[in-house]
Amino acid sequence: MLGEDGTAAGPADSVSDLAAAVAEREARQAPRWVWAATEEIYPGLLARLTVRPARCHDLKLVESLLLAHEERYGLPRALGAAWARLRGLPVPDDPPDGGPDDQPVLFAADRQRLPAGTDPLVAVAAVHADQQRRIALAEHPDRMRLLCAAESAGALAAAEMTYDGLPWSAAAHDELLTGMLGPRPTGGGTRPKLLGELAGQIQEALGRQVNPDSPAQLLPAFARVGVQIASTRSYVLREVEHPAAALLLRYKELSRIHSAHGWAWREQWAPAGRFRPEYVVGGVVSGRWATRGGGALQIPRSLRAAVVADPEHRLVVADAGQLEPRVLAAMSGDDGLARAAAEGDLYAALARTAFDGDRQRAKLGLLGAMYGQTSGEVRPLLDVLHRRFPDAMRLVESAARTGEAGGVVRSRLGRTSPPPSRDRQDMTDGDARAWGRFTRNFVIQASAAEWALAMMASLRRRLTALGDGGNSGAGPRLVFFLHDEIIVHTPEEQVQAVESAVAESADEARCLVFGRTPVLFPLETHTVRCYADAK
């Protein structure tokens, strides 16, 4: 047991079955579990838990947040490294990624990284206490505490989504792939029928034998027909009028589906009717998630029809529209932009206020302000925004100037941007402007990621209350997360309760992250049997 300040508040318990002990203690006390790294420990516990933990403190994720906030970059984050820093000992590298043992312990992944003779529980308690001390020293301690809690809750949700899996219909997937590519090839390395036909058409259009997967062959082939291109990237090919370019674009699109989400992919990542990707919480510097395998964040729209709910179940799909502009309005406290964000369509409201009803110009101008596009047709739109919404524009411009000067910026809750890859004095003007565009958007994107984390943590708590809190699968499950979109797989009779839980969670996250703001964060929610129907 640990006290609020992280110090030990009782003796250690020795148990023979960790999963049973965790479930029993969770049901009795609902504590916040402190452990080395959720991704290394929790997956091995999940299959044996009858009650899932409501909260945890992930030492590795929190250490990463605190090191960045303290502007100590490039340091190992794992328990062994954090303990060594505390003791003034040589710091080991982080252990390689890997799964837990069959019967995990709370510090298994880092046991070998601790100096011989070190009690791992002592190390866990000491690092946790040190992190509590450092959180209290943050610029905004309450916000940093919330960020650490939300990041840790995200790690629990990520492991559970991998365990529960996104419903995936092999029959629907086969039908989609066959329609796009032709029947599944029987020989290893053989192209599907439609890809083979496209390859032949590309060769015919270029007048020679060429491998459509080889830029080294394609570039001179295009040159021989009078088309000089620097690469075969899609954005380059879209500007080429030669018929081979359109054929190659189609080939690349279908080839990507075949390699990234084809039959072999399903056998590895979506067996037995469930897609189980490996999420990486905070895998992007802005706090957005990444994936270590499975490509969950890049499921093509053309394959969404393969995501089909189980019998007597539905998918509740919720998407936060116009999230980043709303975050800018809430962060900046700009009255005018907040009034626009209080309506359903922020861009339409902005158009009525400042752009003579032209929604496209309003959208182009605001996105240009957030992403750093300041020239061409955007320039006069930015001038309008500066006059009408000075507080919002001041926030993004200040972040950009800080980045150009080689400084760091922080999100709403305190996630800190990395420094430029080179010293300010070594940066060219172009480098500085590029980094300014990064920091300009970092404050918005990172804060949007925090809202999404808080929303997901709140929703996870509500879904647990609607189910049995364990692994029976009897209740609704959060099964997919993509930046600002979530999917809940739920029994039909609980659809209405889940829809209410989603709306309540979005509003709770708004209040937690941004406080008393009139800015709304509405979620567009669709209840469907098939993901493709959520339009």
Contact 439, 409 (CB under 8 A): yes
Two structure tokens written together for 372: 């750093």
Distance CA 219, CA 232 (A): 7
Q: Which is it for the CA torsion 153, 154, 160, 163, positive or negative?
A: negative
The label of the residue with tokens 């504590």 reads: 31
Same structural domain for residues 217 and 95? no
The whole-number pLDDT of residue 97 equals 55
CA dihedral 138, 412, 291, 183 (to 10 degrees): 180
What CATH number has the domain bearing residue 226?
1.20.1060.10
- Examine the domain organization and report whether 44 and 135 are in the same domain: yes
Tell me the C-alpha distance between 1 and 278, whole Å.
31
45, 114: one domain = yes
- Tens of pLDDT along the chain (535 residues) come to 787 777 777 777 888 888 888 888 888 888 999 999 999 999 989 988 888 999 999 999 999 999 999 999 889 999 999 999 998 888 877 766 543 333 444 444 444 477 778 888 889 999 999 999 999 999 999 999 999 999 999 999 999 999 999 999 999 999 999 999 999 998 767 899 999 999 999 999 999 999 999 999 999 999 999 999 999 999 999 999 999 999 999 999 999 999 999 999 999 999 999 999 999 999 999 999 999 888 888 888 999 999 999 999 999 999 998 999 999 999 999 999 999 888 788 999 999 988 989 999 999 999 999 998 877 788 899 999 999 999 999 999 999 999 999 999 999 999 999 998 777 667 888 889 999 999 999 999 999 999 999 999 999 999 999 986 566 667 999 999 998 899 999 999 999 999 999 999 999 999 999 999 999 998 999 999 999 999 7
| DSSP 8-state class, residue 7 | -
Together in a domain, 308 and 255: no
Same domain, 74 and 177: no
Distance CA 317, CA 82 (A): 39
Domain of residue 514, CATH code = 3.30.70.370
Question: What was the pLDDT predicted at 93?
Answer: 79
Q: State the alpha helices, DSSP H only, in 225-292.
A: 234-237, 243-261, 263-269
The pTM assigned to this predicted structure is 0.91
Regarding whether 427 and 456 lie in a shared domain, the answer is: no
Q: Give yes or no: residues 458 and 471 share one domain.
A: yes
Q: For residue 470, what pLDDT is reported?
A: 61
**53 with 180, same domain?**
no
Residue 503: inside a domain = yes
Does 219 fall in a domain? yes
Q: Which residues pair with 316 in a beta bridge?
A: 488, 527
Q: First-to-last CA distance in the chain?
A: 48
> Is the same domain home to 180 and 115?
no
In whole angstroms, what separates CA 411 from the centre of its chain? 16
Q: How many domains does the chain have?
A: 4
Tell me, what's the pLDDT at 472? 63
Say yes or no: 453 and 312 in one domain.
yes
pLDDT recorded at residue 495:
97
Closest CA to 393 of 446, 331, 349, 323: 331
Query: Which of 423-443 are b and which e, b meaning 16 or more Cβ less than 10 Å from the residue's Cβ?
Result: eeeebeeebbbebbbbbbbbb
Which residue range(s) make up the domain with 351?
333-411+421-439
CA distances from residue 388 to 308, 338, 340, 361 in whole angstroms, order as listed: 46, 12, 12, 14
What per-residue confidence (pLDDT) applies to 98? 45
- pLDDT given at position 474: 74
Are 432 and 466 part of one and the same domain? no
Q: Is residue 1 part of a domain?
A: no
Q: What pLDDT score was predicted for residue 448?
A: 97
**Do β-strands 32-35 and 55-58 pair in parallel, antiparallel, or remain unpaired?**
parallel
388 contacts: CB under 8 Å, gap ≥ 6: 336, 353, 354
223 Cβ contact list (under 8 Å, min separation 6): none
**Residue 35: beta bridge partners?**
58
Interacting residues of 212 by C-beta distance below 8 A, sequence separation 6+: 198, 199, 202, 218, 248, 251, 252, 255
**CB 328, CB 392: distance < 8 Å:** yes
